[in-house]
Amino acid sequence: MADLSAFPITQRWPAQHPDRLQLYSLNTPNGVKASIMLEEIGLPYEPHFIDITKNETWGPEFLSLNPNGKIPAILDPDGPDGKPLALFESGAILVYLAEKTGRLIPADAAGRYETLQWVMWQMGGLGPMFGQLGFFNKFAGKDIEDKRPLQRYVTESKRLLGVLDGRLEGRDWIMGEYTIADIAMLGWVRNLIGFYEARDLVEFDGLKNVPAWLERGLARPAVQRGLEIPKRP
């Protein structure tokens, strides 16, 4: 049985199954990247619900694993060389799990790097821009009288969706086959047109390929399960 007692986060969220990978998360667009991936690859894991509305990521236990105070984070008792590994950043988690299991990432070097470029593209562009659009369209930013910030993020989000739409021309998935690149983006696109209420703003239904891609992704059983993990207490 793995001993995870050296990790302070396990004092706040005890592991009932310390031999399994521990997931500390919430089903946000970033959080579901990890849960969808874990459901897709079938690796045994134990999810822990982290309530960001109660600032639980800013407590010393969570910060001991992720000093940036963001979800998701994982603790794998069977990391490299059989030693426990603590890891944060959703993109890094996707890459780690793909390489650990040999799943959902091309085996050839060129395909691997091409997949990684799309994961990085999501992390550097799609996620941050969609998040800002959501802030100015639905949350506190909507009360700002000057609508130029909102329009900036609407314009950039539409541009990024256009890039994604072009990539999907003639392809069911971003790499042709389903990979971590798709997992990285599904939750964000779903959130943009749903939770952020920006479907009409970004003219989503005028896109040629993205809507069908999103529908295909959301129809996957592992995606459907991952979107609801961790369960709220």
Q: pLDDT by residue (tens digit) across 34-58?
A: 999 999 999 999 999 999 999 999 9
Do residue 175 and residue 124 come from a single domain? yes
- Residue 2 is predicted with a pLDDT of 78
pLDDT digits (tens, 9 = 90+) for 81-108: 999 999 999 999 999 999 999 999 999 9
Which of 83, 103, 123 is the last residue in one of the domains? 103
Residues 143 and 209: their CA atoms lie apart, in Å, by 33
Extended strands (E) in 28-166:
45-49, 73-76, 85-88
Which of 87, 103, 119 is the last residue in one of the domains? 103
Count of CB atoms situated within 10 Å of the CB of 126: 23
Do residue 82 and residue 129 come from a single domain? no
227 domain-assigned = no
225 domain-assigned = no
Do residue 141 and residue 208 come from a single domain? yes
pTM of the model: 0.97
Do residue 116 and residue 196 come from a single domain? yes
Give the number of domains in the chain: 2
145 domain-assigned = yes
- Provide CB contacts within 8 A for 110, sequence distance 6+: none
In terms of residue numbers, what domain contains 40?
Answer: 9-103
228 domain-assigned = no
226 domain-assigned = no
- Residue 3 is predicted with a pLDDT of 86
